[in-house]
Amino acid sequence: MTDTHCPYCALQCAMTLTPTAGEALPVTVAGRDFPTNRGGLCKKGWTSAELLADTGRLTTPLVRGADGELHPAEWDSTLDLIAAQLERIAAEDSHDAIGVFGGGGLTNEKAYQLGKFARIALRTSRIDYNGRFCMSSAAAAANRAFGIDRGLPFPLTDLDTAETVLLLGSNVGDTMPPFVSHLQGARARGGLIVVDPRRSSTARLCADGAGIHLQPVPGTDLALLLALTHVVIAEELYDSGYVRQRTSGIDALRQSVSVWWPERAETVTGVPARSIRVLARRLAEPGSTYILTGRGVEQHVDGTDTATAAINLALLLGLPGTPGCGYGTLTGQGNGQGGREHGQKADQLPGYQSIMDPAARASVAAVWGVDPDDLPGAGVPAVELLQTAGLPGGVRALLVHGSNVFVSAPDVSTVREALGRLDLLVVADFFLSETAKAADIVLPVLQWAEEEGTMTNLEGRVLRRRRAVDAPAGARSELWIMAELARRLDAPGVWSLDPSEVFDELARASAGGRADYSGLSHALLDLGIEAHWPFPIGSLGTPRLFADRFAHADGRAKLVAVRARAQQTPSADRLTLITGRLLEQYQSGTQTRRVSELTEKRPSLVAQLHPATARRHGIGEGDGIRLSNSRGTVQARAELTHDIRPDTVFLPFHYPDGESANLLTDDRVDPHSAMPEFKRALVQLSAV
C-alpha cells in the first residue's frame, strides 16, 4: 500500500493506493484520514485510478511529419531535434524567442526545475504558467496587504469552530466537496454566508436557517465589499485597537468608501441595502469569523482590487492573526500554491523571491552555479506570452508542461491562432490533450501515481507524493527530459534525476525567501510532520501566519484604498456569461473527460438559464442554444433553473473545441496581476 494524495485540486485529499493483481485497474483507491479530507474523497478522487489504465496514454514521443500528422519517434532523435531547433531560433533571433509555459499541477520539484531550465539552459525570461489564470489576483492582493501570499494562512481545521464564514466567489460544494465538512460549525450557528450569482451547491448549504445567500449582479463584488466596509466604518463596528496597532492606511480607506452607502450599492449589485447592513453587523459580532475568497471574485480585470477589498474588510474586523479568526483565499489547482512559489512565474525565483532583487539573484545563482548577471530579467505574463507568439517580439518556440491552453486560455481562438504561428510547439503530457494535438512534438511524461515528489496544498502544507505503480516503458520523467535537453544545450549546473535531490536544491535556493523551504527534505516529510511554510532551517514550520506581525518591514498590514469601475451592463439582448466548474470535471478536462463515470452525466456542454430568460427567447429544457459575441460562438444544450439570475448564463469551462466556454471570455487583464476577465463576458443568446 502507498500513502499519497489526490491528483486533482489544492485540497490534496489524502488517499491510499493498494496494488491489484490481474484486474482492470492497477490500484484501488481508499480515502485516508487526514486533516483536510478526514478520509473523504469526491467523485474525482474515487475514480482517479482509471487514469492509470486509460488506453489513450502516451507512451512514445510524437513528431509531426511532412504529411502534417504526428508519428511515433525515438527519444534520442526527438530530443536532438528539439535542441537543434531551439539553438537555431536563439541564434537567428534571441534567447527570448523561446518561451516556456508551466502548470499548477506540476510537483514542486518539476516546477522548480522548469524555472531553472528556462533561465539557465534556455537563458530566456519568457516563462509563465497557468496559475496566472487562477491565483494571480489573490496573490497580488495578499502581497500588497500582508507582504506575503499563502492561500490559507492558517490550518483548514481552524474553520471547524467558526461561527461565521463569509465565502465570496467559491463553490466548494462542487470544486472540493470534502472541504464542506469544515463549514458545519458555521452552518449550525446560522453563520454560513455565500456570495454567488448562482444558487450553487454551496449556496444551497445556507438553506433552512444555516446561513445567507447573496446573489449579486456578476462582476459587482467589489461594490458590495466597499459597501460592507462603509457600514463597518460608519457604524464604528471595526476593531479600533487592532487597526491602530497592526495596520496602516485607515484614513485613505475611510475616505474611499464614504460614497458607498448601502442604498447606492443596491443599485449596482442588486443586493438589498438592508441585507448589506445585516451582513456587516453579523461579521462584526464577537466570535470566530473568517472571510474566504475564490476565483469568482478574483478572475476579473479588477480582481486584485476586489480581493484587496475583502482583505481590507477582514483587517478592519481584526481577523488576520487573531486566534479563531482569519482571512484566506482558496487555491484551485493541485499545486497552485507551490507552483507559484518556485520560479514558474515571469518575475519570480524560487522561494517566492523577485527576479529583479539583486540579493535574491545572487543567492539563487550561487545555488545554481552561475553568475547572477547571466540570469535574465522579468518576463511577460501568460496572456501576453501566448497571444504574441509568432509575432515580432514574441516567442517563436514554446515548451508547454502541465497545461492545456487550447481549452483554458481566455479568448481561446486567438491563442489557438497564435500558437499556430510558432516555429516550434513542444507539449509534455500524459494524454493527447487538445494542445498536444496541435503540437509539432509531443513528449510522454509520468502521471501522479508514477512519480515521487512534493505538493503544497491550499494551507501552505508541503506534502509527499509517492510512486505506487510503474510508468509505461516509453514515458519519462520531466526531470529526465530537462536534464537531457540541458546536456544537449551545454547548460551549466547540476541536473539531477532524483526528486529528493532536486527538492534539496530547491530548499537551498528558497532560503531567505518568503516561501522558505530550507528546513525541509523528503526524509523529514516522510516522518509525517506537519510542514507549513515558511520552514527555515531549525524551525518547526509556520501553520499560522500573522500572530505577531505581518511580512512588511514595519510589521503592519496595509489597508489599500481601491475603487469600483463602471462596467458594461447586460440588456434585453445581452446576457452576462459566467463560467465555473462542475462537480464531476476538473480544469480543462484532459483527465476527467476520460473517466466514463464522470462524463456520463454531462457528456457535452450544458448552459444554465433562468426559465424567464429561456421563455423570452423561445427556448425549452434541453433545447440547443447558441451563445455568441465578437470573440466567438458556442453551442450548448439548455438547462433551465431558478438557481441563476435572469440576466445571467452559466457555462462550465471543461469542454474542448467548439464547446469551449473560453471562446467567449475576455482577454483584458487586471493591471496588477495580469489576470484575465474570465468571469464576466456579455453574450447574445439565440435558439438553434
Same domain, residue pair 254 and 140: yes
**Co-location of 381 and 489 in the same domain:** yes
Using the predicted structure, report yes or no on whether residue 567 has a pLDDT greater than 90: no
Q: Express each pLDDT in 67-88 by its tens digit.
A: 999 999 999 999 999 999 999 9
Domain match, 446 and 344 both? yes
- The percentage of residues in the chain with a pLDDT greater than 90, rounded to a whole number, is 97
Residue 529: inside a domain: no
- For position 570, what pLDDT does the model report? 67
- CATH code, 277: 3.40.228.10
* Average pLDDT estimate for 480-509: 98
Q: What is the pLDDT of residue 625?
A: 97
Measured at the CA of 33, the angle between CA 32 and CA 35, to 5 degrees, comes to 125
Q: Does some domain include residue 173?
A: yes
In a domain, 535, yes or no: no
Question: Are residue 106 and residue 207 in the same domain, yes or no?
Answer: no
Q: What's the pLDDT tens digit per position in 449-465?
A: 999 999 999 999 999 99
Does residue 341 contact residue 351 with C-beta atoms inside 8 Å? yes
Do 117 and 171 lie in a common domain? no
> Domain check: are 295 and 413 in the same one?
no
* pLDDT score of 346 more than 90: yes
User: Which pLDDT band holds residue 274 (cuts at 50, 70, 90)?
Assistant: very high
State how beta strands 289-293 and 164-168 pair: parallel
What would the mean pLDDT of 469-488 be, rounded to a whole number? 97
313 and 439: one domain? no
Q: What is the mean pLDDT of the chain?
A: 96
Average pLDDT for 375-403: 97
Going from the C-alpha of 342 to that of each of 64, 261, 348, 354, 506, the distances in angstroms are 33, 43, 7, 11, 8
User: For 216-242, how does the pLDDT look when each residue is reduced to its tens digit (9 = 90+)?
Assistant: 999 999 999 999 999 999 999 999 999
The pLDDT tens digits of the residues spanning 124-161 come to 999 999 999 999 999 999 999 999 999 999 999 999 99
- The pTM of this model reads 0.96
Clarify whether residues 129 and 179 are in a common domain. no
Count: domains in the chain: 4
pLDDT at 601 over 90: no
pLDDT digits (tens, 9 = 90+) for 631-645: 999 999 999 999 999
Residues 117 and 143 in one domain: no
- Going 521 to 526 to 529 to 530, the CA torsion angle's sign is positive
Q: What is the CATH number of the domain that holds 15?
A: 2.20.25.90
Asked whether residue 374 is assigned to any structural domain, the reply reads yes
Q: How confident is the model at residue 678 (pLDDT cuts 50, 70, 90)?
A: very high
DSSP secondary structure letters along 405-448: HHHHSTTHHHHHHHHTT-SEEEEEESB--HHHHT-SEEEEB--G
End of a domain among 311, 329, 347? 329
Euclidean distance between CA atoms 176 and 289, whole angstroms: 21
Domain match, 212 and 343 both: no
Q: Which domain holds residue 184?
A: 136-329
CATH number of the structural domain spanning residue 666: 2.40.40.20
Query: pLDDT, tens digit, for every residue of 406-420?
Result: 999 999 999 999 999
Same domain, yes or no: 298 and 205: yes
Amino acid at site 197: P
Domain presence at residue 617: yes
- At residue 534, does pLDDT exceed 90? yes
CATH of residue 93's domain is 3.40.50.740
Residue 236 lies in a domain: yes
399: DSSP letter: E
**Band of pLDDT at residue 22, cut at 50, 70 and 90:** confident
Give percent of the chain with pLDDT exceeding 70.
99
